[in-house]
Structure 1
């Protein structure tokens, strides 16, 4: 027989689920309404395409007629959003019920269809809130992944059309840790950065990406009488492997890489189960020389990744500079990777 508490808990869960479903249904109907309004405005514009500024006239006229009765949701600015919504997503059957109108507005700010497809897939897959989607767009998640991966691979992983084959397909460089609230002008010890990450673990997992779960902090390991401490240990269910993160608040050295390689070897030989994939090591560092990383590690290795962290959101100029550097490197190699 069910206890009173179990009965109450079950009924509360039913109520909460029903409310959530009702809210989503109402928001989707609102989204459809905005799409149809945008479609009707665009169709009217096309009828008067030979008249200069006819589109602006329609928006202004509709706003003056609709706002007094229906409120600020029908201001000229909002009506322009609805028109753009239809132009960006011209087929109503492709609209996703999992996305809210607020999330669609964020997607409208993106310049390419590939970006929108990526963020739609990630939002649905990870059940991102509006705030989480906004952060991922503002931190240039798509562009950061593209710095080391091709578009097709990024989109395929996001849509679950393929599983990631190695760490570089899901680990970002740089990682943006603005949510830690640390000032970039200050000097920090590794324990300070580590402590801030633990305090903001949920946000850090979001930045890490898909499939990560926290395992341990300052994991003690013993090697023939010597004792070592691994900064952070995670597990990634997509890659089916342990992920070790070592934090370095200085410029990365070859000694740092060697230290992490030892931890990775230990986990591969002692902790990893037979069905699991090789352990991944991430060096989260203040700065790095990619050539040092390349020549310290064996060729074609996929287990060690160096990722620079940023304590503030990148500017548009910084992002463009990074993309241009990648393009210059690609051209210098004769356009062959």
Structure 2
């Protein structure tokens, strides 16, 4: 315990200071009742956890004369990256690979965004270039400029995603790989990469907490994927190609039984004999998705608030902050477009 305080005490103090600036449920409720995104921007100016993002948005307005939803959301995301950059200075060198997980996630999303663009011949989204100068393993400029799959491969060479993407390169250079298959492959690559770091670099209680944080997440995502196929594509039997090849509390025989189930009700019947029985608010996809986001957030918040100082203090804060950003984006889009304001989600994050 003393060693953990000596090693991670400064990191924990920094995290607690940042966490103290979070938005509360009353803040989300107030913003949800505002007339437009400009009003939200004005309100966020008074909130210490997001005021820097508002300053960045206003600075952009001085050159363009306009701050809309996209400009505000981009500024909010950029602030999360700047917090990551500042927090990373307190991370001990042996833990740098693990705490680079947001970079690997951003790379994955950038690759998928590029693949969507190539498939649809759509416009380039410049947001990836607006990130801080962090040690990404993909060439962001090359991703934006690439015109085909070979160009995409060249842009990601040196990253954890290069070999898997090379493996599925079509023989015909004018053909792109299936998007769903590629997404499943990249997400499996990401989780396998994090799992290896945890398994090889950590031990004891820290290893147990890290594995639980990732393991339950993977289990629930696999359940969600199976339920989505059973619900929306009942004739599709391509389960295994899109499942994550990691088991935590769900044994392989249970995964197989769920894949072989005739319908959604039989999937939940299989789950009755697993550690996830009774965890879902309803016996459908939405119920498991709600369980996923609640489990993910509450586990990380619990580790952040009451766990001893460890590298998971940083990991949990980054996960909590990214969830707060999602709740904030939901409020902005509900005000801007009249989209559903997810009060339950705001309450989860703000209490």
TM-score normalised according to structure 2 size: 0.28
Bigger Cα Rg: 1
Structure with a larger share of its residues in helix: 2
Structure with a larger share of its residues in strand: 1
Relative contact order, higher structure (CA 8 A, sep 6+): 2
TM-score normalised according to structure 1 size: 0.29
